[in-house]
Amino acid sequence: MPREPTFENALAFAADLIRIPGLPGAEGAVAERVRDEMRALGLEDVRVDDVGNVIGVARGTGNGPTVLLNCHLDVVAEGDHAEWEVPPFSGQIRDGYLHGRGAMDIKGPLAVQTYATAAMMGRAAGDVVVAHTVLEEQGGLGMKILLESGGLDPAWVVIGEATHGDVCIGHRGRAEVEVLVRGVAGHASEPSRAANPLDLLGHVLAGVRDLEVGQPSDPVLGRGTAIATMVEVVPESRNVIPDRALVTVDWRVLPDDTPLRLLTRLRSALDARIKDLPEGLSYEVRIASVSQRTYTGFERSREMFSPGFLMDPEHPAIQAAARAVGRRDAPEQPARIRPWRFATDGGWSCGVHGIPTVGFAPGEEHYAHTNRERIEVEELRWALERYPLLVDALQRSRAG
Ligand SMILES: [Zn+2]
Protein backbone atom coordinates (compact mmCIF):
# COMPACT_ATOMS: atom_id res chain seq x y z
CA MET A 1 0.00 0.00 0.00
CA PRO A 2 1.42 3.41 -0.90
CA ARG A 3 1.83 5.93 1.91
CA GLU A 4 -1.22 8.15 2.31
CA PRO A 5 -0.57 11.71 1.10
CA THR A 6 -2.01 13.22 4.29
CA PHE A 7 -0.85 16.45 5.85
CA GLU A 8 0.38 14.63 8.98
CA ASN A 9 2.67 12.47 6.87
CA ALA A 10 3.88 15.50 4.90
CA LEU A 11 4.73 17.32 8.12
CA ALA A 12 6.61 14.32 9.50
CA PHE A 13 8.52 14.11 6.20
CA ALA A 14 9.46 17.82 6.38
CA ALA A 15 10.66 17.45 10.00
CA ASP A 16 12.67 14.38 9.02
CA LEU A 17 14.34 16.25 6.17
CA ILE A 18 15.41 19.06 8.52
CA ARG A 19 17.28 16.42 10.56
CA ILE A 20 19.41 15.56 7.52
CA PRO A 21 21.98 18.32 6.85
CA GLY A 22 22.83 18.95 3.20
CA LEU A 23 24.97 21.90 2.19
CA PRO A 24 25.34 22.66 -1.52
CA GLY A 25 27.40 19.87 -3.06
CA ALA A 26 26.60 17.49 -0.20
CA GLU A 27 22.89 16.77 -0.70
CA GLY A 28 23.29 12.98 -1.13
CA ALA A 29 21.56 11.87 2.07
CA VAL A 30 18.70 14.34 1.56
CA ALA A 31 18.28 13.14 -2.03
CA GLU A 32 18.09 9.53 -0.89
CA ARG A 33 15.45 10.37 1.70
CA VAL A 34 13.39 12.31 -0.88
CA ARG A 35 13.66 9.50 -3.43
CA ASP A 36 12.49 6.95 -0.83
CA GLU A 37 9.52 9.14 0.11
CA MET A 38 8.52 9.56 -3.56
CA ARG A 39 8.59 5.78 -3.97
CA ALA A 40 6.64 5.21 -0.76
CA LEU A 41 3.99 7.63 -2.03
CA GLY A 42 3.70 5.63 -5.23
CA LEU A 43 4.98 8.25 -7.68
CA GLU A 44 6.07 6.89 -11.07
CA ASP A 45 9.47 7.04 -12.79
CA VAL A 46 11.20 8.00 -9.55
CA ARG A 47 14.87 8.55 -10.30
CA VAL A 48 18.04 10.42 -9.42
CA ASP A 49 19.77 11.96 -12.44
CA ASP A 50 23.50 12.41 -13.18
CA VAL A 51 23.85 15.60 -11.15
CA GLY A 52 21.81 14.24 -8.24
CA ASN A 53 18.39 15.85 -8.83
CA VAL A 54 15.47 13.70 -7.63
CA ILE A 55 12.52 13.37 -9.99
CA GLY A 56 9.10 11.71 -9.75
CA VAL A 57 5.93 11.79 -11.84
CA ALA A 58 2.19 11.75 -11.19
CA ARG A 59 0.40 10.72 -14.37
CA GLY A 60 -2.61 12.81 -15.21
CA THR A 61 -5.95 11.67 -16.56
CA GLY A 62 -5.77 13.43 -19.90
CA ASN A 63 -3.41 15.18 -22.21
CA GLY A 64 -3.36 18.49 -20.38
CA PRO A 65 -0.01 20.29 -20.31
CA THR A 66 2.74 18.99 -18.03
CA VAL A 67 3.49 21.07 -14.94
CA LEU A 68 6.89 20.82 -13.26
CA LEU A 69 7.03 21.49 -9.51
CA ASN A 70 10.47 22.39 -8.20
CA CYS A 71 12.26 22.90 -4.90
CA HIS A 72 15.94 22.43 -4.07
CA LEU A 73 17.71 19.82 -1.96
CA ASP A 74 20.44 22.03 -0.49
CA VAL A 75 20.34 24.44 2.45
CA VAL A 76 22.72 27.21 3.49
CA ALA A 77 25.11 26.74 6.43
CA GLU A 78 23.50 26.92 9.86
CA GLY A 79 26.30 28.90 11.56
CA ASP A 80 26.84 28.84 15.30
CA HIS A 81 24.42 26.37 16.93
CA ALA A 82 24.52 28.36 20.17
CA GLU A 83 22.83 31.28 18.37
CA TRP A 84 19.74 29.19 17.58
CA GLU A 85 16.73 29.28 19.89
CA VAL A 86 15.78 25.82 18.64
CA PRO A 87 18.60 23.46 17.52
CA PRO A 88 18.97 23.81 13.72
CA PHE A 89 18.69 20.10 12.87
CA SER A 90 16.06 19.07 15.42
CA GLY A 91 12.99 19.53 13.23
CA GLN A 92 11.00 20.49 16.33
CA ILE A 93 7.48 21.83 16.29
CA ARG A 94 7.05 24.58 18.85
CA ASP A 95 4.44 27.33 19.21
CA GLY A 96 2.77 26.33 15.96
CA TYR A 97 5.94 26.50 13.87
CA LEU A 98 8.23 23.86 12.42
CA HIS A 99 11.75 25.00 13.25
CA GLY A 100 15.24 24.49 11.88
CA ARG A 101 17.59 25.04 8.97
CA GLY A 102 15.59 24.50 5.81
CA ALA A 103 12.17 24.64 7.51
CA MET A 104 11.02 27.31 5.03
CA ASP A 105 13.99 27.31 2.63
CA ILE A 106 13.02 24.84 1.49
CA LYS A 107 12.23 21.52 3.11
CA GLY A 108 8.73 22.46 4.32
CA PRO A 109 7.68 23.59 0.82
CA LEU A 110 9.52 20.59 -0.70
CA ALA A 111 7.42 18.24 1.41
CA VAL A 112 4.27 20.14 0.39
CA GLN A 113 5.10 19.93 -3.34
CA THR A 114 5.99 16.24 -3.11
CA TYR A 115 2.80 15.37 -1.23
CA ALA A 116 0.63 17.54 -3.47
CA THR A 117 2.05 15.66 -6.45
CA ALA A 118 1.13 12.35 -4.84
CA ALA A 119 -2.38 13.66 -4.13
CA MET A 120 -2.78 14.54 -7.83
CA MET A 121 -1.94 11.02 -9.12
CA GLY A 122 -4.66 9.98 -11.53
CA ARG A 123 -6.55 13.23 -10.92
CA ALA A 124 -4.71 16.09 -12.65
CA ALA A 125 -5.63 17.09 -16.21
CA GLY A 126 -2.04 16.40 -17.31
CA ASP A 127 1.17 14.98 -15.93
CA VAL A 128 2.72 16.57 -12.86
CA VAL A 129 6.47 16.16 -12.56
CA VAL A 130 8.15 16.97 -9.27
CA ALA A 131 11.91 17.57 -9.43
CA HIS A 132 14.03 18.72 -6.50
CA THR A 133 17.40 20.00 -7.62
CA VAL A 134 20.94 20.43 -6.31
CA LEU A 135 23.11 23.50 -5.79
CA GLU A 136 20.32 26.10 -5.94
CA GLU A 137 22.01 28.08 -3.19
CA GLN A 138 25.09 28.39 -5.39
CA GLY A 139 23.49 29.48 -8.63
CA GLY A 140 21.29 26.55 -9.67
CA LEU A 141 23.52 24.14 -11.57
CA GLY A 142 21.03 21.34 -10.82
CA MET A 143 18.10 23.15 -12.46
CA LYS A 144 20.29 24.28 -15.35
CA ILE A 145 21.32 20.70 -16.15
CA LEU A 146 17.81 19.31 -15.53
CA LEU A 147 16.41 21.60 -18.22
CA GLU A 148 19.36 21.28 -20.61
CA SER A 149 19.21 17.51 -20.56
CA GLY A 150 15.68 17.75 -22.00
CA GLY A 151 13.00 15.10 -21.85
CA LEU A 152 10.78 16.93 -19.37
CA ASP A 153 9.37 19.64 -21.63
CA PRO A 154 6.95 21.19 -19.10
CA ALA A 155 4.43 23.84 -20.15
CA TRP A 156 4.67 25.46 -16.70
CA VAL A 157 7.12 25.48 -13.84
CA VAL A 158 6.07 26.19 -10.25
CA ILE A 159 8.93 27.15 -7.92
CA GLY A 160 8.46 26.44 -4.21
CA GLU A 161 10.53 29.31 -2.81
CA ALA A 162 8.68 31.16 -0.05
CA THR A 163 5.92 33.50 -1.24
CA HIS A 164 3.83 33.51 1.97
CA GLY A 165 0.91 32.36 -0.16
CA ASP A 166 1.26 34.99 -2.89
CA VAL A 167 1.81 34.16 -6.56
CA CYS A 168 5.29 35.35 -7.57
CA ILE A 169 6.07 36.15 -11.18
CA GLY A 170 9.75 37.03 -11.38
CA HIS A 171 12.82 38.60 -9.88
CA ARG A 172 16.05 40.32 -10.83
CA GLY A 173 19.01 38.13 -11.70
CA ARG A 174 22.60 38.39 -10.52
CA ALA A 175 25.94 38.45 -12.25
CA GLU A 176 29.47 38.58 -10.90
CA VAL A 177 31.52 40.55 -13.36
CA GLU A 178 35.28 41.02 -13.14
CA VAL A 179 37.64 43.68 -14.41
CA LEU A 180 41.13 42.22 -14.71
CA VAL A 181 43.96 44.72 -15.05
CA ARG A 182 47.29 43.25 -16.12
CA GLY A 183 50.65 44.94 -15.60
CA VAL A 184 54.24 43.94 -14.94
CA ALA A 185 55.23 42.84 -11.44
CA GLY A 186 58.33 44.23 -9.83
CA HIS A 187 59.99 45.07 -6.55
CA ALA A 188 58.39 48.04 -4.87
CA SER A 189 61.84 49.64 -4.52
CA GLU A 190 62.25 49.78 -8.33
CA PRO A 191 58.94 50.97 -9.75
CA SER A 192 60.50 52.04 -13.06
CA ARG A 193 60.92 48.39 -14.04
CA ALA A 194 57.30 47.53 -13.38
CA ALA A 195 53.87 48.55 -14.65
CA ASN A 196 51.53 48.84 -11.71
CA PRO A 197 47.94 47.64 -12.42
CA LEU A 198 46.82 49.59 -9.34
CA ASP A 199 47.49 52.80 -11.31
CA LEU A 200 44.29 52.03 -13.20
CA LEU A 201 42.19 51.24 -10.15
CA GLY A 202 40.77 54.75 -9.69
CA HIS A 203 39.53 54.83 -13.29
CA VAL A 204 38.08 51.32 -13.03
CA LEU A 205 36.13 52.11 -9.85
CA ALA A 206 34.93 55.40 -11.32
CA GLY A 207 33.81 53.57 -14.48
CA VAL A 208 31.87 51.05 -12.40
CA ARG A 209 30.21 53.91 -10.52
CA ASP A 210 29.23 55.50 -13.84
CA LEU A 211 27.35 52.30 -14.71
CA GLU A 212 24.94 53.02 -11.90
CA VAL A 213 23.61 56.08 -13.75
CA GLY A 214 22.52 54.14 -16.82
CA GLN A 215 20.96 51.14 -15.10
CA PRO A 216 17.72 50.10 -16.78
CA SER A 217 14.54 50.04 -14.74
CA ASP A 218 11.42 47.89 -14.82
CA PRO A 219 8.04 48.99 -13.40
CA VAL A 220 7.58 45.66 -11.57
CA LEU A 221 11.14 44.59 -10.73
CA GLY A 222 12.69 47.98 -10.11
CA ARG A 223 16.18 49.05 -11.16
CA GLY A 224 19.25 47.06 -11.88
CA THR A 225 22.26 47.81 -9.67
CA ALA A 226 25.99 47.44 -10.18
CA ILE A 227 28.51 47.93 -7.41
CA ALA A 228 32.17 47.09 -6.92
CA THR A 229 32.49 44.68 -3.98
CA MET A 230 36.08 43.42 -3.99
CA VAL A 231 39.62 44.23 -5.11
CA GLU A 232 42.28 41.53 -5.20
CA VAL A 233 45.91 41.65 -6.31
CA VAL A 234 48.31 38.93 -7.46
CA PRO A 235 50.85 38.41 -6.05
CA GLU A 236 49.62 39.62 -2.70
CA SER A 237 52.62 41.13 -0.98
CA ARG A 238 53.15 44.52 0.61
CA ASN A 239 56.54 45.12 -0.95
CA VAL A 240 55.78 43.84 -4.45
CA ILE A 241 54.14 45.68 -7.33
CA PRO A 242 51.50 43.17 -8.42
CA ASP A 243 51.11 42.03 -12.00
CA ARG A 244 47.33 41.69 -11.76
CA ALA A 245 44.51 43.54 -10.06
CA LEU A 246 41.00 42.13 -10.11
CA VAL A 247 37.88 44.16 -9.34
CA THR A 248 34.64 42.26 -8.72
CA VAL A 249 31.30 43.85 -9.54
CA ASP A 250 28.02 42.54 -8.07
CA TRP A 251 25.41 43.26 -10.70
CA ARG A 252 21.66 42.77 -10.10
CA VAL A 253 20.24 42.44 -13.57
CA LEU A 254 16.88 42.65 -15.30
CA PRO A 255 15.47 39.86 -17.48
CA ASP A 256 16.78 41.37 -20.75
CA ASP A 257 20.35 41.61 -19.51
CA THR A 258 22.53 38.92 -21.08
CA PRO A 259 26.19 38.35 -20.14
CA LEU A 260 27.24 39.84 -23.49
CA ARG A 261 25.21 43.02 -22.93
CA LEU A 262 26.60 43.46 -19.43
CA LEU A 263 30.17 43.12 -20.65
CA THR A 264 29.57 45.58 -23.50
CA ARG A 265 28.15 48.17 -21.09
CA LEU A 266 30.98 47.74 -18.62
CA ARG A 267 33.62 47.92 -21.34
CA SER A 268 32.28 51.18 -22.73
CA ALA A 269 32.01 52.70 -19.23
CA LEU A 270 35.67 51.84 -18.63
CA ASP A 271 36.78 53.01 -22.06
CA ALA A 272 35.18 56.39 -21.36
CA ARG A 273 37.26 56.74 -18.19
CA ILE A 274 40.53 55.28 -19.44
CA LYS A 275 41.53 57.61 -22.27
CA ASP A 276 45.25 56.78 -22.48
CA LEU A 277 46.35 53.43 -21.23
CA PRO A 278 49.76 53.69 -19.51
CA GLU A 279 52.43 51.58 -21.15
CA GLY A 280 52.62 48.00 -19.93
CA LEU A 281 49.00 47.92 -18.73
CA SER A 282 45.96 46.25 -20.26
CA TYR A 283 42.53 45.34 -19.02
CA GLU A 284 39.70 43.00 -19.83
CA VAL A 285 36.17 42.40 -18.58
CA ARG A 286 34.63 38.98 -18.05
CA ILE A 287 31.91 37.11 -16.19
CA ALA A 288 33.41 35.36 -13.15
CA SER A 289 33.35 31.60 -13.33
CA VAL A 290 33.58 28.84 -10.78
CA SER A 291 34.12 25.11 -11.01
CA GLN A 292 31.35 23.18 -9.26
CA ARG A 293 31.05 19.54 -8.28
CA THR A 294 27.81 17.84 -7.29
CA TYR A 295 27.58 15.06 -4.70
CA THR A 296 27.40 12.50 -7.53
CA GLY A 297 30.82 13.61 -8.82
CA PHE A 298 29.50 15.60 -11.79
CA GLU A 299 31.77 18.58 -12.49
CA ARG A 300 31.10 21.69 -14.48
CA SER A 301 32.66 25.11 -14.72
CA ARG A 302 29.87 27.65 -14.49
CA GLU A 303 29.66 31.35 -15.24
CA MET A 304 28.45 33.38 -12.27
CA PHE A 305 25.37 34.57 -14.05
CA SER A 306 21.91 33.75 -12.70
CA PRO A 307 19.29 35.24 -14.98
CA GLY A 308 16.20 37.15 -13.91
CA PHE A 309 12.73 36.68 -15.31
CA LEU A 310 9.33 38.30 -15.35
CA MET A 311 5.91 36.97 -16.32
CA ASP A 312 3.13 39.33 -17.38
CA PRO A 313 0.95 39.84 -14.27
CA GLU A 314 -2.08 40.10 -16.59
CA HIS A 315 -1.38 36.70 -18.20
CA PRO A 316 -4.74 34.84 -18.08
CA ALA A 317 -3.19 31.71 -16.57
CA ILE A 318 -1.52 33.75 -13.83
CA GLN A 319 -4.79 35.48 -13.08
CA ALA A 320 -6.53 32.09 -13.00
CA ALA A 321 -3.81 30.72 -10.70
CA ALA A 322 -4.23 33.65 -8.30
CA ARG A 323 -8.01 33.10 -8.19
CA ALA A 324 -7.55 29.36 -7.65
CA VAL A 325 -5.16 29.87 -4.75
CA GLY A 326 -7.07 32.70 -3.09
CA ARG A 327 -5.93 34.41 0.08
CA ARG A 328 -5.56 32.47 3.26
CA ASP A 329 -7.30 35.22 5.24
CA ALA A 330 -9.87 35.95 2.48
CA PRO A 331 -10.34 32.91 0.23
CA GLU A 332 -12.80 34.68 -2.07
CA GLN A 333 -10.12 37.20 -3.04
CA PRO A 334 -7.37 36.30 -5.53
CA ALA A 335 -3.84 35.81 -4.23
CA ARG A 336 -1.52 38.79 -4.51
CA ILE A 337 0.66 38.77 -7.62
CA ARG A 338 4.16 40.19 -7.14
CA PRO A 339 7.86 39.60 -7.76
CA TRP A 340 10.30 38.01 -5.32
CA ARG A 341 13.05 40.15 -3.77
CA PHE A 342 15.60 37.34 -4.22
CA ALA A 343 16.72 35.08 -7.07
CA THR A 344 15.39 31.56 -7.70
CA ASP A 345 15.81 28.74 -10.21
CA GLY A 346 12.95 30.38 -12.14
CA GLY A 347 15.69 32.41 -13.81
CA TRP A 348 16.75 29.21 -15.57
CA SER A 349 13.31 27.90 -16.44
CA CYS A 350 11.78 31.18 -17.62
CA GLY A 351 14.72 33.56 -18.11
CA VAL A 352 16.83 31.13 -20.16
CA HIS A 353 14.46 28.42 -21.41
CA GLY A 354 11.38 30.59 -21.82
CA ILE A 355 9.10 28.19 -19.91
CA PRO A 356 6.29 30.11 -18.18
CA THR A 357 7.10 30.05 -14.47
CA VAL A 358 5.40 31.11 -11.25
CA GLY A 359 6.21 30.80 -7.57
CA PHE A 360 3.88 29.62 -4.84
CA ALA A 361 4.85 28.40 -1.38
CA PRO A 362 4.19 28.85 2.30
CA GLY A 363 6.76 30.65 4.41
CA GLU A 364 7.81 34.17 5.35
CA GLU A 365 10.85 35.28 3.37
CA HIS A 366 12.44 37.19 6.24
CA TYR A 367 13.24 33.93 8.06
CA ALA A 368 15.32 32.64 5.14
CA HIS A 369 19.02 32.02 5.86
CA THR A 370 18.63 33.19 9.48
CA ASN A 371 19.08 31.36 12.78
CA ARG A 372 15.37 31.90 13.46
CA GLU A 373 14.25 29.89 10.44
CA ARG A 374 10.76 28.44 10.83
CA ILE A 375 7.49 27.86 9.01
CA GLU A 376 3.97 27.99 10.36
CA VAL A 377 2.38 24.54 10.50
CA GLU A 378 -1.09 25.78 9.55
CA GLU A 379 0.33 27.65 6.57
CA LEU A 380 1.97 24.42 5.40
CA ARG A 381 -1.39 22.67 5.68
CA TRP A 382 -3.13 25.45 3.74
CA ALA A 383 -0.48 25.36 0.97
CA LEU A 384 -0.81 21.58 0.60
CA GLU A 385 -4.55 22.05 0.01
CA ARG A 386 -4.06 24.90 -2.46
CA TYR A 387 -1.35 23.31 -4.63
CA PRO A 388 -3.65 20.99 -6.63
CA LEU A 389 -5.97 23.95 -7.33
CA LEU A 390 -3.03 26.00 -8.60
CA VAL A 391 -1.82 23.18 -10.87
CA ASP A 392 -5.35 22.62 -12.14
CA ALA A 393 -5.68 26.32 -13.05
CA LEU A 394 -2.41 26.20 -15.00
CA GLN A 395 -3.27 22.97 -16.79
CA ARG A 396 -6.68 24.25 -17.87
CA SER A 397 -5.37 27.56 -19.17
CA ARG A 398 -3.73 27.77 -22.54
CA ALA A 399 -0.02 27.15 -22.00
CA GLY A 400 2.45 29.98 -22.49
ZN1 LIG B 1 15.68 28.50 -1.48
Measured CA to CA, the distance from residue 89 to residue 297 in angstroms comes to 26
The CA–CA distances, whole Å, from 38 to 29, 41, 54, 132, 306 equal 14, 5, 9, 11, 29
User: How much distance in Å is there from the Cα of 189 to the middle of ligand 1?
Assistant: 51
Instruction: Output the pLDDT for position 62.
Output: 84
User: How much distance in Å is there from the Cα of 180 to the middle of ligand 1?
Assistant: 32
Instruction: Output the pLDDT for position 308.
Output: 95
Query: What pTM value is reported for the model?
Result: 0.91
User: How much distance in Å is there from the Cα of 208 to the middle of ligand 1?
Assistant: 30
Nearest to 142, CA basis, from 300, 251, 259: 300
| Catalytic choice (74, 178, 373, 376) | 74
Q: State yes or no: cis peptide before 159, omega within 30 of 0.
A: no
Instruction: Output the pLDDT for position 400.
Output: 45
User: How much distance in Å is there from the Cα of 103 to the middle of ligand 1?
Assistant: 10
Q: Is 50 among the catalytic positions?
A: no
User: How much distance in Å is there from the Cα of 284 to the middle of ligand 1?
Assistant: 34
| Catalytic choice (136, 178, 345, 392) | 136
Which residues is 253 bridged to in the sheet? 173
* Architecture per CATH, 173-292: 2-Layer Sandwich (3.30)
Average pLDDT for runs of 10 along the chain of length 400: 95 98 97 98 98 98 94 97 96 97 98 98 97 95 95 95 98 96 96 96 97 90 94 96 97 93 96 94 97 97 93 96 97 97 94 96 94 97 98 82
User: How much distance in Å is there from the Cα of 296 to the middle of ligand 1?
Assistant: 21
What is the Cα 89 distance to its own chain's centre? Answer: 22
User: How much distance in Å is there from the Cα of 10 to the middle of ligand 1?
Assistant: 19
Same fold, 7-171+308-396 and 173-292: no
Instruction: Output the pLDDT for position 63.
Output: 87
Q: Is 218 among the catalytic positions?
A: no
The CA–CA distances, whole Å, from 366 to 9, 67, 340, 369, 373 equal 27, 28, 12, 8, 9
- Superfamily in which the 7-171+308-396 domain is placed by CATH: Zn peptidases (3.40.630.10)
Query: 7-18 and 28-40 are packed helices; what angle lies between their axes, rounded to 10 degrees?
Result: 160
User: How much distance in Å is there from the Cα of 116 to the middle of ligand 1?
Assistant: 19
The length of the chain, given as a count of residues: 400
Q: 280: Cβ–Cβ under 8 A, 6 or more apart, which residues?
A: 183, 184, 194, 195
Nearest to 250, CA basis, from 264, 262, 239: 262
Instruction: Output the pLDDT for position 151.
Output: 86
The domain ranges of the chain are 7-171+308-396, 173-292
**Cβ proximity of 170 and 308 under 8 Å:** yes
Instruction: Output the pLDDT for position 46.
Output: 98
Torsions phi, psi of 371, nearest 5? -90, 15
